[in-house]
Amino acid sequence: MAAFRGVYTAPELKPTPCGLLSVATVKTHTSSDYDERWVRGFSYEFDSLATTRILTTNDDDVTGGELYDASDEQYYRDYSPFFIEVEIARSTFGLPAQDRFAIALKQLEAATQKAVELELWSGVAATAATNSNVFLSKEGAATVPASGAHTASNALFHLEQAIASSPTGASGVIHMTRDVASILGSKIVYASTDGGKTGKAMTRLGTEVAIGSGYSGIGPYSVTGAAPSATNRWMYATGPVEVHLSKSEIVNESLSQGINANINDMVIKAVRSAAVYFDPSIHFAVRVAVPATV
């Protein structure tokens, strides 16, 4: 019996569940000139920093009745977007009917969540561009409510309580790496959505949890113990997260543009612009002691 010499197509690429895009508000932009102006940079507002106090029925101040003084706060921040790119190399002797552009676009779509997670946590593009973007581990941006290293469970309750310090008592998002989420076990609840095809995670108090494959685990820069290691991670709590994504586009004008005739290979690139930021009224970090692996 002759051996099968056909080719099976690649399996579907599925971003990991409970990632950042499962909890963020995502705005996917069109390619129209008006809608793409945000790529040049923009400002974002937030309504969570309000001066809030309790008064008597005679409008008199109450001792200990001021929840938050926002008189010196800024109600907007500036943001500079970044780009996500995938590059694939395919032989010119590949399957004749294979749409190489479609492959690149599919890979870009699949990789978007991880790339956005990395930028939110580590700010690699913001650091390289030396702009003012705020990211989780940015030096001096996050407050550490409990010093030292804590078990994952204790770090979680410190962050839950820190969220309560939000000026308006708004809900937040807790960010963690996948290994820390695994340690927490039943303290993290998985909620199936979309008929079980996708889902999101939350704490037992209902706080949304982003478990990012692109999260590095690094702590706030210049803080003691910031570097992640086999036994050291960080968790963060922030206000609500927003993500902007442009339409994915192929860089090559044609297949021939990417061909290297010397090796009968072609390189195809797909790119999209992105932005990720959060309401800064909640920004806390706690160091986690991770059990050493055997």
Indicate the residue type of 158. H
pLDDT at 34: 58
Residues 6+ away with beta carbon under 8 Å from 139: 220, 221, 222
CA–CA dist 67, 58 (Å, integer):
19
24: left (phi over 0), alpha (psi -120 to 50) or beta: beta
pLDDT tens for each residue of 258-275 = 555 455 577 889 999 999
Q: Kindly report the pTM of this predicted structure.
A: 0.89
Give the model's confidence band at 294: pLDDT under 50 very low, under 70 low, under 90 confident, else very high: very low
CA–CA dist 13, 15 (Å, integer):
7
CA–CA dist 210, 21 (Å, integer):
8
pLDDT tens for each residue of 168-186 = 888 999 999 999 999 999 9
What average pLDDT does the segment 158-162 reach?
97
pLDDT tens for each residue of 107-152 = 999 999 999 999 999 999 999 999 999 999 999 999 999 999 999 9
Indicate the residue type of 48. S
Give the model's confidence band at 293: pLDDT under 50 very low, under 70 low, under 90 confident, else very high: low
